[in-house]
Amino acid sequence: MGHSILPIGNHKLKTERIKDLAEDIISRIDINIEYGYFGKKENFKLLGKEKEDEYVIIDKIVKHKDFKTFRLIDESYQLKELYNKFGNEIFYNPDYWTCYDSKLPEESIILEKQKELVYPDFTLDYIGENDYQYLTINKEHFGNSISYFTRWWVFCQFFLDKSCIDIDYNEDLYNFRKSLMYYTYKFGGDKNYYLDDQSTVLEGVGQGSEWEMNWNSFEKFVLEKTSHLLIDIPKFMTDRNYRTEIHELNDYPLSFVDDFRDIK
């Protein structure tokens, strides 16, 4: 399976409630949003509702009829409903743990599930004909898979090949970064890290494990694990001496950082 680039940027979006987040996003970028959650039959039953597994639409915000309509999903919405009804007892109700044959799992698994009440976890996606775009949004950072350039190893090779900086390929990279800059700035952030989504050194960060990290702890972790092979993209684009240093390392980068200062 090919490795993909996952850009993760900081943001200042409202993530307390799905309604607030939808309204905040709509105020910042030109899309429509339908927001809701995926509900499980067993959880509906605990809530006193007779429903099958289904996607539940809570509401829809139309900014303009010609804009694309994205779907905003709260991955923990139904758990929050159950917690509001039963409190912490829901985590010790065997009927909740149908994936464990209605038996209570180990305490570590229960504690991990409880984190979903604390750490926001949203998906914003668009599904069109031959077109799939999505963001993952956590409390202080978001993963951007709307913008696309190429796969991870090809991306790395651009910075390792001494001739690439001077060819037309550079225009595609510029457009990719400009798209990332647009979403990052619109969401109140100022920086992106580009990670390998199958990294062997980041312990699942870039694959979803970052969801409970704040921005400072995320940055600290990435730097601790990858700073010896991290490329500062704006510096690479503007500083010949720095490019020479990177080429002399003669090794694949483990991460990239981009504050877009060269294209502002």
pLDDT in tens, 119-128: 999 999 999 8
Please compute the mean of the pLDDT values over residues 134-150 and round it to a whole number.
94
- Regarding predicted confidence, which is higher, 154 or 39? 39
Percent of the chain with pLDDT over 70: 97
Nearest one of 204, 196, 116 to 153, comparing CA atoms? 196
At residue 1, the pLDDT reads 61
Question: How big is the CA angle at 153 (ends 149 and 155), to the nearest 5 degrees?
Answer: 35
Give 67's contacts (C-beta < 8 A, 6+ positions apart): 30, 31, 32
Q: What is the pLDDT of residues 162-213, one digit of tens each?
A: 766 655 557 888 999 999 999 999 999 999 999 999 999 999 999 999 999 9
Burial 51-61 (b: 16+ CB within 10 A, else e): eeeeeeeeeeb
Q: What is the pLDDT of residues 104-117, one digit of tens each?
A: 999 999 999 999 99
At residue 36, the pLDDT reads 98
Contact 31, 69 (CB under 8 A): yes
**Is residue 46 over pLDDT 70?**
yes
Integer Cα distance of 56 and 40 in angstroms: 10
**Is residue 8 over pLDDT 80?**
yes
Integer Cα distance of 100 and 104 in angstroms: 7
Q: What is the pLDDT of residues 213-228, one digit of tens each?
A: 999 999 999 999 999 9
Which residue's structure tokens are 């914003």? 124
Please compute the mean of the pLDDT values over residues 56-67 and round it to a whole number.
98
How buried is 119 (Cβ within 10 angstroms: 0-12 exposed, 13-18 middle, 19+ buried)?
middle
pLDDT tier at 233, thresholds 50, 70, 90: very high
Mean pLDDT for the chain overall: 94
Taking every pair of Cα atoms in the chain, the longest distance, rounded to a whole number of angstroms, is 66
At residue 166, the pLDDT reads 57
pTM above 0.85, yes or no: yes
At residue 92, the pLDDT reads 97
At residue 2, the pLDDT reads 80
Contact 13, 188 (CB under 8 A): yes
Tell me the chain's radius of gyration from C-alpha atoms.
21
Q: 163: which 2 tokens?
A: 């001739």
At residue 148, the pLDDT reads 85
